[in-house]
Amino acid sequence: MPVAKELSGFSDFERVTRFDDAEAQLCAIIAIHSTALGPAAGGCRFTRYPGFDEAAADAAALAHGMSRKNAMADLPLGGGKSVIRMPDGEFDRDRLMRAFGEAVDSLGGAYITAEDVGTGVADMQQIARATRFVAGLPKVGDHAGGDPSPWTGLGVFLSIRHVAGAELQRPLGELTVAVQGAGSVGANLCRRLSEAGATVLVADTNAEKLAALADLAGVEAVAPDKVLGIEADILAPCAMGGVLTPAVVDGLQVRAIAGAANNQIAGPEAGAALQRRGILYCPDFIINAGGIISVSAEYLGEDEDAVSRRVARIPERLAEVIGAAREQDVGPEIMADRMADERIAAAGTAAEAAGG
């Protein structure tokens, strides 16, 4: 059983807990930002960090993001996230995941885990041997479940189609979309864009990922170091966060940005630069919620229709955020944070009132 230690210094969080199990080589952090709207849900990241503090800070930042994402997707879930530090050298992955499952279980359902960067369905199956507070398991019948990334791809695609029609006043078939990253979400997005008749300029550092898309109509591979500055109508960052630095924003040749990666804007200066240049930013956690919508439906025992209906509403939520941002003359990313924080605070106040 992993040894738990509460971490201090995370004042806006309900709890941030470190779990260690030397025999299983587990060192994990589970950050619970808020359970005001329901159990804290968010994936488990499995990667290397320079040190423990970096891992804890990442878990906390991601958990806060999940509170906002879940709140704005109308899910009955709070926000949490976990990270497992990848051990150096050899390790028994299944055993490590089972030990992590014990850590999740010890929180009694306050935190629900699923896949994130570095974890997959097989890991969730190991975790499920130790806890029932896990989703992202193989699909059974009509029930929601399985790989969430196609749903993320669909939500991003619908958002891009909305931006084309409502913001750029052009059908998607006449537009060029630059896609950074042809992984699970990016490849799905490229297929949908190709089917809709768009021209797609896609970059990936892994040539195999590009080869898999080579036969799609209207899809052309471009160099990874060119994609962020390429001339197109819309840019869809689908590789990693923090790509929109002030320097990158200066060089952008697009009118809008709509991608799946979390936290694409690298700080307020870059956000201000986007606003100044009149480039529309579609807040990542609004448009990439398809995956958590699927995971949440799976956990709640709902069917795939429920997932489809909720994902189809993503463009409405996007339009609401863009409209409010214009009214208040702030960037959509700032507006999305504000709206989410208001929802979480209102739920917290309602819970307190009910409790006391």
Summarize as ranges the residues that interact with ligand NAI (CB under 6 A): 117, 148-149, 152, 180-186, 203-206, 209, 224, 238-241, 260-262, 288, 291
Distance CA 101, CA 130 (A): 5
With CB atoms as reference, the residue minimizing the distance to ligand NAI is 183
Which of 25, 149 has the CB closer to ligand NAI? 149
Which of 15, 81 has the CB closer to ligand NAI? 81
- Kindly report the length of the chain: 356
Residues 6 or more apart in contact with residue 158 via CB below 8 angstroms = 311, 312, 314, 315
CA dihedral 54, 333, 171, 238 (to 10 degrees): 0
Which of 271, 291 has the CB closer to ligand NAI? 291
Query: Quick check: is 81 catalytic?
Result: yes
Q: Tokens for 330, please give them.
A: 């702030």
Q: Tokens for 264, please give them.
A: 């694409």
Longest Cα pair distance anywhere in the chain, in angstroms?
A: 62
Least distance in angstroms from the C-beta of 230 to ligand NAI: 12
Q: How far is CA 19 from CA 28, 102, 130, 131, in A?
A: 5, 10, 15, 15
Q: Tokens for 354, please give them.
A: 């009910």
Least distance in angstroms from the C-beta of 308 to ligand NAI: 16
Which residue out of 5, 69, 81, 226 is catalytically annotated? 81
Least distance in angstroms from the C-beta of 262 to ligand NAI: 5
Distance CA 123, CA 225 (A): 33
Least distance in angstroms from the C-beta of 263 to ligand NAI: 9
Which of 101, 181 has the CB closer to ligand NAI? 181
Least distance in angstroms from the C-beta of 285 to ligand NAI: 8
Q: How far is CA 232 from CA 91, 202, 256, 278, in A?
A: 45, 11, 9, 15
Which of 88, 208 has the CB closer to ligand NAI? 208
∠ Cα 247 238 344 (to 5°): 90
Q: Which residues are catalytic?
A: 81
